Amino acid sequence: MSTKIKESIRVGALFEKGRVRPVWFMWQSRRYAIREVTLYWQDRQGTDLQSHFGVHAEGGFFELMLNHISLCWWLMQAEQD
Amino acid sequence: MQSQRVIFHVDMNAFFASVEQQCNPHLRGKPIVVCGNAKLRTVVAACSYEAKAFGIKNGMSIPEAKLLCPQVIPVGGSSARYVFVSHRIFEILREYTPHVEVFSIDEAFMDMTHTWSLKGHSIEAVGRSIKKQIVKELGLRSSVGMAPNKLLAKLGSNRQKPDGLVRIQMGDIPTLMARLPIEDLCGIGKQLKLALNDLGIFTGADLGAASESMMVKRFGVYGRKMRLMGQGVDYSPVVATASDDSVKSMGHSYTLSSDTSNEETLRGVLLRLSEKVARRLRKKSYCGRTVSLTVRYAGFETRSWQQVQPENVNSGLSIYHAAWRLFMRHSWPLKYRVRLLGVSVSQLNREAQQLNFLDDEVKRRKIDACLDTMSDRFGEFSIVRARALGPLISKTHGFLKPEIERR
């Protein structure tokens, strides 16, 4: 069962060919290596553009979100193994 | 000319559920149903093939689905996710031809007559290439039908699911129609099926062989069209979807978290739905003349009423007042508690509102403009009317579009 989190987190990401790809993130003092970006989508919260990434990492499935205005990363939900 | 056309119909398989399964690997291979909000009481909007195997169907309540399959996993839907992925799919299709007609959020027709040979050595190879590209970029499976017209292309994509690739040629029509139940033809629903069955028409071949004068007498011009459908003939063109000029109605519905007859709750939900419809209308510079109300009662009986308004509307309050009048006229006092409410506006046109210099109307438009500015800046429903702040009303969930705008 996935749990809503919405917590600001640190993310390591690659910016290449006009695309962004998260590679790892830190959550609860643990570093998670991302194995696969399973789905990418965007939406808007008011004027703020947000990129969402469904990611499969060691330990489970997570949804990360990058706010393009604040350039902050958020962990939106987690489903741990 | 008919036989020279090459039309593709691309249909995503169990779209909403497949997107959820692609996003979350834990859901893959499992029976899941997508609903408005997994924690609240909503209906099944879509189900995975694994759930369909248990007999679960769209529109069932979650308890009904659980009766059929206790291990089914309800997943709260995300319209932003589906809309984004859908747009990406249509972008991929436009790499093959500019003539892409979006038929719904997860299916489209493509006129490949002049472009298929640029993309592959055979029509089937192009179909395979489209499927492969969608899997590569989005991880989603699709069914592709290829035929000389839209009717047969759609029939083709429906014949093999999931992950199908079917080509129908003119020479296949007699064999195909001989055993095809008429309800498999796009455009023949339950009521038409029953009416045709009454006339002794059960298969595509029966329909194609029916007397034209009898069909026209019974069904009007659509009778002639249906007879041609039975012969596998369809002259309708693929109309490239570049704008939303053909949108005919906009609406939203909401399943309450528990059945209620509480007037304040019903008013609150109705106002929220009306504001949401109005906001979408204004965003696309539409207003509409007809307001419709749908009420589903506790026993699942569903009733709809509509009324033409004296002038075009696109304000939440005007839509709400019209919908509430319909509710009071047809449904009050309540015999049964209410399970779902839906509001829609049709007869749409582009901002053809009369200039109105009445103080109240000017004030109302100023308030709408102010609310729109705040919603644009801070997000939908960052500010709402007090009546719409009911405790039973979910802010972001459940208010899903009942369907993509009807075209």
Alpha-helical runs (H) found in B120-172: 123-138, 150-159
Spell out which residues of chain B touch residue A36, defining contact as CB-CB under 8 Å. 25
* DSSP letter (8 states) at residue B201: -
Q: Which residues of B161-173 are buried (b: 16+ CB within 10 A; e: fewer)?
A: beebbbbbeeeeb
List Cα–Cα distances, B376 to A48, B122, B367, in angstroms: 9, 48, 14
The residue type of B383 is: I
pLDDT band at residue B176 under the 50/70/90 scheme: very high
Q: Residue B105: is its pLDDT beyond 60?
A: yes
Higher per-residue confidence, B407 vs B364: B364
List Cα–Cα distances, B125 to A80, B106, B238, in angstroms: 41, 22, 21
pLDDT score, position B59: 85
Q: Which of B19, B24, B140 to mutate to test the interface with A (most CBs of A within 10 A)?
A: B24
Higher per-residue confidence, B159 vs B41: B159
- Tell me: the pLDDT tens digits for B75-97? 988 888 999 999 999 999 999 99
Q: Which residue ranges make up each domain of chain A?
A: 3-80
- Domains, chain B, ordered by start: 8-167 (3.30.70.270), 172-230 (1.10.150.20), 249-388 (3.30.1490.100)
- Tell me: the pLDDT tens digits for A28-72? 999 999 999 999 999 988 778 999 999 999 889 999 999 999 999
Q: Which of B15, B18, B21, B23 to mutate to test the interface with A (most CBs of A within 10 A)?
A: B23
Spell out which residues of chain B touch residue A61, defining contact as CB-CB under 8 Å. 23-26
Segment B90-107 mean pLDDT: 93
Strand-pairing partners, residue B403, are none
State the Cα–Cα distance between residues B187 and B323, nearest whole angstrom: 30
The residues of B whose Cβ lies within 8 A of any Cβ of A are 19, 22-26, 80-81, 84-85, 138-139, 375-379, 382
- Adjacency order of strands within the sheet including B32-35: B44-47, B32-35, B73-76
Give the three-class secondary structure for A6: strand
Active site residue B91: no
pLDDT band at residue B395 under the 50/70/90 scheme: very low
Q: Which residues of B275-302 are buried (b: 16+ CB within 10 A; e: fewer)?
A: bbbbbbbbeeebbbbbbbbbbbbeeeee
- Helices and strands per DSSP (H, E), number in chain A: 0, 6
Spell out which residues of chain A touch residue B375, defining contact as CB-CB under 8 Å. 46
- Phi and psi of B139, rounded to 5°? 75, 15
Q: From A64, which residue of chain B is nearest by alpha-carbon distance?
A: B23
Q: What percent of chain B has pLDDT over 70?
A: 90
pLDDT band at residue B229 under the 50/70/90 scheme: very high
**Contact residues for B363 (Cβ-Cβ < 8 A; gap 6+):** none
Q: Residue B372: is its pLDDT beyond 90?
A: no
**Cβ <8 Å between B19 and A47:** no
pLDDT band at residue B403 under the 50/70/90 scheme: very low
pLDDT score, position B358: 64
pLDDT score, position B406: 36
List Cα–Cα distances, B143 to A55, B132, B289, in angstroms: 26, 11, 38
pLDDT score, position B241: 74
* Given the residues B20, B50, B107, B405, the one annotated as active site: B107
The residue type of A17 is: K
* DSSP letter (8 states) at residue B181: B
The residue type of B329 is: R
pLDDT band at residue B114 under the 50/70/90 scheme: very high
**Cβ <8 Å between A38 and B22:** yes
The residue type of B321 is: H
Q: How far is A33 from chain B (nearest CA, A)?
A: 16
Average pLDDT, chain B: 87
Q: How far is A75 from chain B (nearest CA, A)?
A: 15
- Tell me: the pLDDT tens digits for B243-302? 455 577 899 888 887 889 999 999 999 999 999 999 989 988 889 999 999 998 887 778
Whether the Cβ atoms of residue B85 and residue A41 lie closer than 8 Å to each other: yes
List Cα–Cα distances, B383 to A45, B283, B375, in angstroms: 13, 16, 7
- Phi and psi of B360, rounded to 5°? -60, -40
